[in-house]
Amino acid sequence: MKCDYWFFKVLMSLVLFTSWRSYAGPNDIDFVLGARPMIQGATSESETQFNVLIPRLKLKSTVAVVVERGQPLPQDIQGFKAFKKFISPQESHIFQDKLKLAHWGVKKFKFKGLKINKKYLLVVFELGKYFKKVDQREFEMVDLSRKTFKLALGSCMSDDFSFEGIRKSIWSQVEKQKPDLLILSGDVVYVDSFDFVARNSATDLDIWLRYINTMRVTPLYSLKKLIPVLATWDDHDMVTNNSHKDTKNKEAALRAFQVFFGSEPIDRVYKKGKTGVMSVFKTKSQSIYLMDGRFFREEPFIAKTTGEVLNDKKDYYDKKNKKKHVKLGAYSAWGQHQHQWLINELIKEPQPSWIVNGFQFFGNAFISKTKAKNGSVKVKRVNESIQDDHSEHFGNIVRDLKKVPTPVAFMSGDIHASEVLKIEKEKLGYETLEVTSSPVHSYIYGAVDELFPNKRRIMGKKDYNVIFVESTAQEQGLTVTLKAVNYLGKTLFSLKDFKIQK
């Protein structure tokens, strides 16, 4: 018995010592993939940047370095200080909510001097009392000289628990497709979720917490190999449903979006607008313009009995609420400055381009009518589009795009269905496409096969999905091949070699 006792005591001591070492020992380099949710932002052939979610007490002690894959890593603080093979960030900045109440903050790291055709690791270390590696990801640079880019397009990404299984499956499918760039066209964060924040009530802290939770539960931000992300927002990212320029706390939402999803400029590659979330990413053969359809958007006044926009053509006085709704302006979707910025950029540096907006360009308004038990009819305008909600601005967009020397195509989200619209030659002087992808993982409304009426639609489907677009630049145009892939890996629809030629 005595021998057994001492054997047990020695065994337990070894177990405890091993556990202590694996948890907090100075040589510990064990880590959990995704322990620090992150995105890779705008990336060129030599520069890239990362937005990393970090516990607030670890923000100062957390560092990130880049090494070529296969290189040995330091195992203690002395080795780290002496290690010469990693690339240190050119810049790093810490961001928290204004009152510093949230348990998580974001640290941004920007790296320069990298090269294409190399496989890199971003390695995240904590340099506190105990040296340890807490996360690492694979990534590559973007070869801007290529003619063909594989773009993944998605929108509407709820963090509700009910979509947990869908989230895991759909991002696994995205990984398998190996896109060059991921374009997020809005509703990436649902600030006004059904579970946590009531509509039109979000505080600065609410906004920050909703962004944090989205990043923590969405597998995109824990992928083993990162995909460079280009993002714009839509209504739910900017506080609430159908948000607009007068929405309360839009400045707080703008700050959060730029902290979590924004990138810093890269000379001749990535440029940001003066305000809002508008930006442009330019390769040597094609450009991607990400428009802000919320920050400057004027609010259409919708009739409760018909679902029509009442202030589209003239001022409308709401007698019941004794309120005047001013006629929507000539640039009511984007604002005049943003509209002119887009046109000027397209003329100044002409090359085939994609224009991305949160809600649709060429969508038709869908008015739902449901009858209650008492016989009354409830009318609701379900979707938004520039064409039907901002008709004067839509006309100005079409007019000015005709002046641009090279053709454009369109991307959007929002409608909780995916579809491809073929835009007739009469609009811009050439046939083009609007590709709408939605939802990645969010609610699917109505009958599964029910799509909003639109004569321009050439294909579409309601399912959890991402659309993969192979965009090939050719002289004065684009050739587009695409497919919508659902969370099970099934191709929902596809299009091959559609030519957009001016």
Spatial distance between the Cα atoms of 281 and 160, rounded to a whole number of angstroms: 31
Q: Buried b vs exposed e over 86-96: b needs ≥16 C-beta within 10 Å?
A: beebeebeebb
* Domain ranges across the chain: 38-139, 148-297+334-363+405-501
* Residue 138 near residue 226 (C-beta atoms within 8 A): yes
CA-closest candidate to residue 27, choices 84, 83, 73: 73
pTM over 0.75: yes
Question: How many other C-beta atoms are found inside a 10 Å radius of the C-beta of residue 345?
Answer: 18
Residue whose entry in the numeric block shows the structure tokens 């992808």: 437
CA 261/CA 151 separation, integer angstroms: 17
Residue found by looking up tokens 């979720």 in the block: 193
38-139 adopts what CATH topology? Immunoglobulin-like (2.60.40)
Q: Residues 199, 167: contact at Cβ < 8 Å? A: no
One digit per residue, the tens of pLDDT, for the chain of length 502 reads 555 555 444 444 444 333 333 333 333 445 788 899 999 999 999 999 999 999 999 999 999 999 999 998 888 888 888 888 999 999 999 999 999 999 999 999 999 999 999 999 999 999 988 899 999 999 999 999 999 999 999 999 999 999 999 999 999 999 999 999 999 999 999 999 888 898 889 999 999 999 999 999 999 999 999 999 999 999 999 999 999 999 999 999 999 999 999 999 999 999 999 889 999 999 999 999 999 999 999 999 999 889 999 999 999 988 888 888 999 999 999 999 999 999 999 999 999 999 999 999 999 998 888 888 888 888 888 899 999 999 999 999 999 999 999 999 999 999 999 999 999 999 999 999 999 999 999 999 876 668 989 999 999 999 999 999 999 999 889 999 999 999 999 999 999 999 999 9
The beta-strand segments (E) located in 140-291 are 148-154, 181-185, 229-232, 270-272, 279-282, 287-290
Q: What three-state secondary structure class fits 286?
A: coil
CA distance 402 to 426: 10
Beta carbons of 121 and 138 less than 8 angstroms apart: yes
Q: Are 245 and 293 in contact (CB under 8 A)?
A: no
CB-based contacts of 13-18 (< 8 A; 24+ apart in sequence): none
Q: How far is 434 from 458, CA to CA, in rounded Å?
A: 10
Bridge partners for 342 per DSSP? none
Task: Please tell me what DSSP assigns to residue 143.
Answer: -
Total H helices, total E strands in the chain: 9, 25
Question: Of 191, 381, 362, which Cα lies nearest the Cα of 300?
Answer: 381
* Cβ contact 153:379 at 8 Å: no
Superfamily holding 148-297+334-363+405-501: Alkaline phosphatase D (PhoD) (3.60.21.70)
Please say whether the beta carbons of 355 and 398 come within 8 A: no
Q: Which sign does the torsion angle of CA 271, 275, 277, 278 carry?
A: negative
Phi, psi of 38, deg, nearest 5: -160, 165
Secondary structure (DSSP) of 309-340: BSSSSS-EEETTTTEEEPPP-TTTTT-HHHHH
Collapse the DSSP code of 194 into the 3-class scheme (helix H, G, I; strand E, B; otherwise coil) and give the result.
coil
